Amino acid sequence: MDFEKLSMTNEDYINYVQQKSKKSPIFKNLALAFLVGGLFCILGQALTDIFEYFNYEKKVASTIATIILVFLGAFLTSINVYSKLGKYAGAGSIVPITGFSNSIVATAIEYKSEGYILGLGANMFKVAGPVIVYGITSSVVIGFFYWLIKLFI
Amino acid sequence: MKIGKQTIKLENTPKIIETCSVVGPRETEGPLNIYFDIHIDDIFYGEKTFEKAESKMLKTCVDNLLSKASTDKEHIDYIFAGDLLNQCIASGYCIRDLNIPFFGLYGACSTFCESMILASLFVNSNYASKAVAATSSHFCSAERQFRMPLEHGNQKTPTAQVTVTAAGSALIMSKDTNKKAPHITYVTPGKIIDMGITDMTNMGAAMAPAVFDTVTTHLQDTGRSPDYYDAIVTGDLGILGSEIVCDLCKDYGVDISKVHKDCGVLIFDKDKQDTHCGGSGCGCCASVFSGYFFELLKTNKINKVLLVATGALMSTVATQQGESIPSIAHAIAIENEV
């Protein structure tokens, strides 16, 4: 629909708006995401090393570290800290496993008001669901090609 | 009487006898704090869910309006109300307890002007002697309907706006009422304008062309210039949307920048409250008009106001299907007898 009054096309207007809109502070956001995401990774590594030091197998140690991080994400979400952290850290707190935990717990809190089955239960994976669906799908696809290549090599 | 392209002249100039505003915690911290009637410091307002809280807030607002105007609900002929929730449940459940004939309206954030227009037309044509217009919005119930869960850690873009937790209501009566009060003289219902903006976090830019269209049409239809008004008040364009609408009007040869005010900009202190482009929601225009501008009109600090509430008529479903954001703006001219 063209705007007759101003003889302005939609394209003109969208370009004008894009020019006028304040952009997200990309460098600041990247730096904070790198910093916070990195800190979560360091924490995960430290936990793994500590459990390995106490003679746990590497696989077991990293599983325990993961469980602790998931708990930490859930805990920080429930005391209203993770959403504040996410405001500054962006992808830095969304991408690590703590963010996955946040997306499930936040949704669970949100939908509890519609009951435990159709509210909480049905909506818990609303935000995290796509990650699981496409994570599993892509691992199946990659696994298939891996198997295919192995047949010939 | 219809004049020009789409404006209606109200020959019987109904009066806005009384208004009432209720606001939530964040709005209480804002710069307009002292102008609001009731402040709520609990975001749940003593209820179990945000939807119930919003409904209760609207109920408090209407109840208080009636007691301010010292009238009973039995004497109200019709109530025009709406909100942002699916199927307008905040209004529906609020008015369930009121026993007043009800018109449920949805015009997104433009609902306050839409309900005022219809209420004043009913009074103007003597179908009603007392009609109420009321709307509400709640940050948390809007957030869960339109955006992400509250506790989800995400970032908002600089163009995003914050839904206001507030309700506003106005009691409209015929001009024969003795009480001195501002009149409604003209109303200009808006058309849907869609300039192809698809970004749900940039509502100001999506709605600005609708405001431009309604305001310029109103001025043309009435033969008035922007300076005729002491204030042209838009609902919730926010900082960016306000700049855009002033730009568009200037390009068209009408300068509204001197008299333009925006409720979304006024309600928050953007530096202290980190509200990005400002406030939005049905309750924004409703509470700022009912609280702030009505007070200025009553005390004759301003005498002529053009109130233009703006709404973005999209839903998450339409947006996910790739639709752009259709917008609307309704204007209503409110004047003191001079």
Hey, are the CB atoms on A99 and B153 less than 8 Å from each other? yes
| Chains A, B: CB pairs < 8 Å | 104
Structure-token pair, residue B77: 């002929």
Contact B264, B279 (CB under 8 A): yes
Residues 89-108 (A) with a CB less than 8 A from some CB of B: 89-90, 93-94, 99, 102-103, 105-107
> CB of A22 within 8 Å of any CB in chain B?
yes
Provide the terminal-to-terminal Cα distance of chain B, rounded to the nearest Å: 23
> CB of B202 within 8 Å of any CB in chain A?
yes
> CB of B152 within 8 Å of any CB in chain A?
yes
Give the CA distances from residue A140 to residues A16, A146, A150, B297, in Å, rounded to whole numbers and listed in that order.
44, 10, 15, 67
Nearest beta carbon to residue B251 from set A6, A29, A82:
A6
Task: Report, at the CATH architecture level, how domain B13-173 is classified.
Answer: 3-Layer(aba) Sandwich (3.40)
Contact B304, B185 (CB under 8 A): no
Q: Residue with structure tokens 């001219």?
A: B333
Q: What pLDDT is recorded for position B288?
A: 96
Pick from A2, A4, A6 the residue to mutate for testing the B interface (most B CBs within 10 Å).
A6
Mean pLDDT over residues B163-174, rounded? 96
Q: What length is written for chain B?
A: 338
Kindly report the average pLDDT of chain B as a whole number.
94
Phi, psi of B124 (to 5 degrees): -60, -40
- Long-range contacts formed by A66-70: CB under 8 A, 24+ apart: A66/A97, A69/A40, A69/A43, A69/A44, A69/A96, A69/A97, A69/A98, A69/A101, A70/A97, A70/A98, A70/A100, A70/A101
| Greatest CA separation for chain A | 76
Q: What pLDDT is recorded for position B17?
A: 96
Q: What are the DSSP calls for B125-177, one per residue?
A: TTS-SEEEEEEEE-HHHHHHHHS--TT------TT--EE--EEEEEEEE-TTS
Q: What are the tens digits of pLDDT across the range A23-64?
A: 889 999 999 999 999 999 999 999 999 999 999 999 999 999
Q: What pLDDT is recorded for position B308?
A: 97
> CB of A28 within 8 Å of any CB in chain B?
no
Q: What pLDDT is recorded for position A1?
A: 42
Mean pLDDT over residues B122-139, rounded? 96
> What b/e readout covers B315-335, taking b as 16+ CB neighbours within 10 angstroms?
eeeeeeeeebbbbbbbbbbbb
What domain range includes position A53?
Answer: 25-128
Hey, are the CB atoms on A90 and B244 less than 8 Å from each other? no
Q: What is the CATH class of B183-335?
A: alpha beta
Structure-token pair, residue B325: 């954001």
Cβ count within 10 A of residue A95? 16
What number is the ipTM of this complex? 0.87
pLDDT surpasses 70 at A3: no
Q: What are the DSSP calls for B77-98, one per residue?
A: -EEEEEESSGGGHHHHHHHHTT
Mean pLDDT over residues B274-291, rounded? 93
- Looking at chain A, which residue has its C-alpha nearest residue B141? A110
Share of chain B above pLDDT 90, in %: 88
pLDDT surpasses 90 at B154: no
Q: Which residue type does B57 have? A: M
Q: What pLDDT is recorded for position B338?
A: 66
Q: What are the tens digits of pLDDT across the range B201-230?
A: 999 999 999 999 999 999 999 999 999 999
Task: Please tell me if the domain spanning B13-173 has the same topology as the one spanning B183-335.
Answer: yes
Share of chain A above pLDDT 90, in %: 81
Residue A9, in any domain of the structure: no
Q: What is the DSSP letter of A22?
A: P
Let me know if B152 is exposed, middle or buried by CB neighbors in 10 A (0-12, 13-18, 19+).
buried
pLDDT surpasses 80 at B283: yes
Residue B269's H or E segment, with its range, is none
Interacting residues of A46 by C-beta distance below 8 A, sequence separation 6+: none
Mean pLDDT over residues A69-97, rounded? 92
Let me know if B170 is exposed, middle or buried by CB neighbors in 10 A (0-12, 13-18, 19+).
buried
Nearest beta carbon to residue A22 from set B49, B158, B216:
B158
Residue A68, in any domain of the structure: yes
Q: What are the DSSP calls for B173-236, one per residue?
A: E-TTSSS--PEEEEEEPPPPB------TT-HHHHHHHHHHHHHHHHHHHHT--GGGSSEEEESS
Residue A2, in any domain of the structure: no
Contact B94, B81 (CB under 8 A): yes
Provide the Cα torsion A128, A129, A132, A135; round to 10°: -90
pLDDT-based confidence at A5, cuts 50/70/90? confident
Pick from A1, A11, A12, A21 the residue to mutate for testing the B interface (most B CBs within 10 Å).
A21
Task: Report angle CA B124, B129, B131 to the nearest 5 degrees.
Answer: 85
- Looking at chain A, which residue has its C-alpha nearest residue B249? A6
Q: What are the tens digits of pLDDT across the range B29-39?
A: 999 999 999 99
> CB of A77 within 8 Å of any CB in chain B?
yes
| Greatest CA separation for chain B | 55
Q: What is the DSSP letter of A3?
A: B
Domain boundaries, chain B: 13-173, 183-335
Kindly report the average pLDDT of chain A as a whole number.
92
Hey, are the CB atoms on A20 and B244 less than 8 Å from each other? yes
Cβ count within 10 A of residue B143? 17
Total count of domains within chain A: 1
Q: What pLDDT is recorded for position A2?
A: 44
Let me know if B285 is exposed, middle or buried by CB neighbors in 10 A (0-12, 13-18, 19+).
buried
Residue A114, in any domain of the structure: yes
